[in-house]
Amino acid sequence: MATLGSNNDLLCNWASFLPKAEEAGMSVAFGHFDGVHRGHQAILAHKPENIYIQPVTGQAVLTTDEERDALIRQYAGEQCNIIHVDKRLETKGFNSVIVGSHHPALASLKEHNAKLDLIEPVLYKDEPITADRITDTLLRGEIEEAEEMLGHPYAMTGEVVYGRQLGRTVGMPTVNLKIATNKLIPRHGVYGTITIVDGVRYIGVTSIGPRPTVDDYPTVTIETFLLYFNRDLYGQVITMEIKNFIRPITKFESLQAVREQVDKDVLFVLEKGLE
Ligand SMILES: Cc1cc2nc3c(=O)[nH]c(=O)nc-3n(C[C@H](O)[C@H](O)[C@H](O)COP(=O)(O)O)c2cc1C
Ligand SMILES: Nc1ncnc2c1ncn2[C@@H]1O[C@H](COP(=O)(O)OP(=O)(O)O)[C@@H](O)[C@H]1O
């Protein structure tokens, strides 16, 4: 059995999940916490001491493990213990369990734990916020709706990698972002974005999808032209927040024509104003 240490990320399995004596007195929460959306935040606001995370398998995620854990600490406090479990949980023998009031296993949780703190689901447009709903809105390119439900921007973090170095030939260098393979990619298209480099926020326009003007591959690239920026970023890890959908990706007659369209995309973003 793994031991508990402050701020340690632990992995334990189902067989060993029953709390040890020192854990039993703690307040706990459990779940996937994918996206760490406003529904999750309502639970985290009660500052559970131990947060048991079950993995999301077989589908794209709103937050990678690293992104999710950082957000959990942001909302629950740096001191919380995040414990990764690799199987379904059997939550028994705890002093206090902080759980959604509509959780399907409520009766069993009540029977096997001293106290339940029941949290009402957080609604958006009269329906509970769920990771699946947020996924659907992102796949439709409805970024503002997704952000309303998330309570924070939909963000992608990754390393800046080399592309074909075509962008610079038309005065439009583009940061190519390599993200985790299981990260959810929103609807293909061009977006207004904010990229965070060394803690500074830069407005940009981002293409997510194939590039029919320059090649015939179905490969999805994530490329951002940053405004008011001129620095080499290769190899750096950066975070990009997606703020609004501008237009679908189209095939132009030349890269120069893409560049002229991107000038219009930039104007659109500047007029709309991003924060
Ligand atoms: C804001 C933006 C919008 C773009 N829109 C399109 C598009 O509509 N169609 C397309 O084929 N490529 C589009 N691209 C991709 C460019 O063709 C690509 O960035 C360019 O070929 C440079 O590639 P490189 O990174 O390999 O140098 C867009 C890129 C950006 C940054
Ligand atoms: N304003 C900018 N926006 C995006 N990238 C920039 C900018 N200024 C400098 N760069 C640098 O230029 C690189 C992109 O140039 P580009 O010709 O598109 O090459 P690549 O195809 O390798 O991405 C970026 O990775 C970054 O290091």
Average pLDDT for 145-160: 98
Asked if pLDDT for residue 244 goes beyond 70, the answer is yes
The residue among 128, 162, 193 that closes a domain is 128
228 C-beta closer than 6 A to ligand 2: no
Q: Quick one: pLDDT band at residue 181, thresholds 50, 70, 90?
A: very high
The residue among 60, 93, 128 that closes a domain is 128
Average pLDDT of the chain, as a whole number: 90
What's the gap in Å between 207 CA and the centre of ligand 1?
A: 6
Structural domain contains residue 2 = no
Distance CA 153, CA 86 (A): 28
Ligand nearest to the CA of 236: 2
The residue among 113, 128, 143 that closes a domain is 128
Average pLDDT for 180-200: 97
Q: To the nearest whole percent, how much of the chain has pLDDT over 70?
A: 90
3-state helix, strand, coil split of the chain in percent (to 5) is 25, 30, 45
- Quick one: pLDDT at residue 93? 82
230 C-beta closer than 6 A to ligand 2: yes
Q: Calculate ∠ Cα 13-8-76, nearest 5°.
A: 100
Structural domain contains residue 190 = yes
Q: Give residue 136's identity as a one-letter amino acid code.
A: D
Given the structure tokens 């926020």, which residue do they identify?
201
Same domain, 13 and 124: yes
172 C-beta closer than 6 A to ligand 2: no
Same domain, 117 and 159: no
Same domain, 192 and 114: no
- Residue whose CA is at the smallest distance from ligand 2 atom 19: 165
CA dihedral 109→110→112→117, nearest 10 degrees, is 80
Classified as helix, coil or strand, 59 is coil
- In ligand 2, the atom with minimum distance to the C-alpha of 228 is 1
> What is the total count of domains within the chain?
2
**Partners of 28 in beta bridges:** 50, 97
pLDDT in tens, 202-215: 999 999 999 999 99
ipTM above threshold 0.95: yes
Tokens of 59: 């589908």
**Contact predicate 109/97, CB 8 Å:** yes
What's the gap in Å between 222 CA and the centre of ligand 2?
A: 12
- In ligand 2, the atom with minimum distance to the C-alpha of 168 is 17
Structural domain contains residue 3 = no
- In ligand 1, the atom with minimum distance to the C-alpha of 212 is 11
Structural domain contains residue 133 = no
Residue 195's nearest CA partner among 177, 212, 172 is 177
Structural domain contains residue 18 = yes
Q: Which of 13-27, 217-231, 235-249 has the lowest mean pLDDT?
A: 13-27
Alpha-carbon distances, residue 184 vs 15, 157, 158 (angstroms): 31, 12, 13
Q: Which residues contact 79 (CB under 8 A, 6 or more apart)?
A: 6, 7, 49
**Ligand 1 — pocket residues by CB below 6 A?**
163-167, 174, 176, 190, 205-207, 211-214, 223, 225, 249-252, 255, 258, 262, 265
CATH number of 236's domain: 2.40.30.30
Domain that holds residue 188: 154-272
Asked if pLDDT for residue 52 goes beyond 80, the answer is yes
Average pLDDT for 255-268: 97
Asked if pLDDT for residue 233 goes beyond 90, the answer is yes
**Contact predicate 8/80, CB 8 Å:** no
Asked if pLDDT for residue 268 goes beyond 60, the answer is yes
Ligand nearest to the CA of 258: 1
Alpha-carbon distances, residue 156 vs 64, 166, 171, 180, 213 (angstroms): 9, 23, 25, 9, 25
Ligand nearest to the CA of 159: 2
What's the gap in Å between 41 CA and the centre of ligand 1?
A: 36
Same domain, 123 and 184: no
Largest Cα–Cα distance of the chain, in whole Å? 69
- Residue whose CA is at the smallest distance from ligand 1 atom 2: 207
- Residue whose CA is at the smallest distance from ligand 1 atom 15: 211
Asked if pLDDT for residue 9 goes beyond 60, the answer is no
Ligand nearest to the CA of 161: 2
Structural domain contains residue 215 = yes
What's the gap in Å between 192 CA and the centre of ligand 1?
A: 14
- Quick one: pLDDT at residue 151? 98
What's the gap in Å between 186 CA and the centre of ligand 2?
A: 22
Structural domain contains residue 142 = no
Structural domain contains residue 254 = yes
163 C-beta closer than 6 A to ligand 2: yes
Same domain, 34 and 107: yes
Q: Which of 93-102, 125-134, 151-160 has the lowest mean pLDDT?
A: 93-102
CATH number of 62's domain: 3.40.50.620
